[in-house]
Amino acid sequence: MVPIITRGIAIATAVLCVSYFAGVFSPSRKTNDIHDPMRKGIELSMTCGGKGKQFEECVKSVKEWEEKTGNKVNLVSVPAEANEKLALYQQFLAAKSKNLDIYLIDVIWPSLLANHLEDLSNFIPEEEKSAHFEHIIQNNTVNGALVAMPLYTEVGVLYYRKDLLEKYSLNVPQTWEELTETSLKIQTAERKTQKKKMWGYIFQGKAAEGLTVNGLEWLASYGSPLILLENGKVSLNTTQAKKALKVVSSWIGRISPEGVLNYNEEDGRGVFQSSNAVFLRSWASVWGLVNAQDSQIKGLVGITALPKGGVDGKHTNMLGGQQLAVSKYSEHKAEAISLIRHLTGAKEQKRKALSASFLPTHPALYSDTEILDKHPHFAEIYPLFESSIMRPARQIGLKYSQVSKEFFMTLHEILAKKGEKIEGKLQDLNNKISEILEPSSK
């Protein structure tokens, strides 16, 4: 049986958390070096999603390993909001807590947390590492140290209502301009049929990391750099960026509700799944939820690449996903690595793909006939990895969170003001981030 710690852990009480976990886990812990053979009767602690599908899958995933090894896993529920979760992790790691063995971390965090994470390079067989997407292994390698293993991947996609496009004889939009026009046409027509709450496009507009993700997709689709040029110089006040944000700002109150500026992923999905939106930007794993038995739009949804920034733009889809890392301060490193190998292996990733539509980090699984029979849309998702982009966390390093906050706060202000003084705000943002990244400030 998996002991589950579900007590709420808010940032306001983060300082108390280290002592809390010490009280929960200390009695049964026995020290074991990373080079020691794995033992039985050990309790590991691992962070997992706050609630919902991800946490449920964590419970299922560790059960087989527990039965096979005779060890137990305490699954620790953490905040769902990325910024809150990262702050909490930094509290634990800064305190060198020995009471959390495995951290579930975002794809952009390896470089931020690397100093506190164990190098797995010599403890994961080469054939296991090479079975994953090469770009994710590279992302998780910091200064030559493999500090995390991929659990599942994500990619940003555009969900659309197939039935509504067919109803009005409209094509799937290929550019943001086409999406704006199509949204207006369907939204206007549907509201005349008593669908008063219908909106054209929903995205993650809350002032948080999700807006950084959306914002970078918009800028990149128009050809603007992802904050930095190759030489490391900040480049945000570009013609392409201004064009992108002018288009996006026109959506607020027009094809996107004012409330979108407070939406995270789940808020947006709720609107779309309630049959109140034509288009939704979200992660590919949301497919299973919008097509669940209790979904109002089950079977009515299509999935495709995010639109281009004009006819000369390009499709850009942000990579996401979660990794598993071992704390340097864990007293059960051998057991933790064993659990990570189980959770990130092809067998377990296939099980999660079949049961919950999690995207594998093993390329071979995208041609697995059993998976494709159950989830034909995986064949449409796989090519999107070729047009995918990554947030510049590796290039920016430890200052990424600070840079991202400045970025999403400025975007939020631009959208709230519906595009007022875009150039001035972008130049201010350019100056602020340049100052943050000055060598003397590191």
pLDDT of residue 33: 55
H helices present in 238-345, as ranges: 239-249, 265-273, 287-290, 333-344
Instruction: Read off the pLDDT band of 442 (50, 70, 90).
Output: very low
Average pLDDT of the residues in 220-231: 95
Segment 202-219 shows an average pLDDT of 97
Determine the Cα–Cα distance for residues 321 and 365; give it in Å rounded to an integer.
16
For residue 52, what pLDDT is reported? Answer: 73
Render pLDDT for 400-411 as a digit per residue (tens, 0 to 9).
999 999 999 999
Please state, for a pLDDT cut of 90, what percent of the chain lies above it.
82
Alpha-helical (H) ranges within 1-99 are 14-25, 53-69, 82-94
3-state SS, residue 73: strand
pLDDT at 440: 55
Read off the pLDDT of residues 117-169 as tens digits, 9 standing for 90 and up.
Answer: 999 999 999 999 999 999 999 999 999 999 999 999 999 999 999 999 999 99
% of the chain residues with pLDDT over 70: 90
Can you tell me the distance from the alpha carbon of 304 to that of 285, in angstroms, rounded to the nearest whole number? 13
| Nearest one of 333, 371, 382 to 349, comparing CA atoms | 371
Q: And the tokens for 121?
A: 């390079």
Tell me: the pLDDT tens digits for 272-285? 999 999 999 999 99
Lowest-confidence range among 26-30, 279-283, 354-358, 360-364? 26-30
What torsion do the CA atoms of 349, 350, 355, 361 make, to the nearest 10 degrees? 50
Query: CA-to-CA distance for 215 and 203, rounded, in angstroms?
Result: 10
What is the tens place of the pLDDT at every residue in 237-256? 999 999 999 999 999 999 99
Instruction: Give residue 13's pLDDT band: very low, low, confident or very high (50, 70, 90).
Output: very low
Q: What is the 3-state secondary structure (H, E, C) of 203-224?
A: CCCCCCHHHHHHHHHHHHHCCC
Q: Which is more confident, 30 or 190?
A: 190
Which among 16, 182, 29, 204 is positioned nearest to 95, based on CA atoms?
Answer: 16
Burial 371-394 (b: 16+ CB within 10 A, else e): beeebebbebbbebbebbbbbbbb
Distance CA 423, CA 418 (A): 13
Query: Tell me: the pLDDT tens digits for 282-335?
Result: 999 999 899 989 999 999 999 999 999 999 999 999 999 999 999 999 999 999
| Arithmetic mean of pLDDT, 83-91 | 92
pLDDT score recorded for residue 80: 79
pLDDT at 12: 33
Closest CA to 376 of 301, 311, 316: 301
**Domains along the sequence of the chain with CATH:** 4-154+320-387 (3.40.190.10), 156-318+393-441 (3.40.190.10)
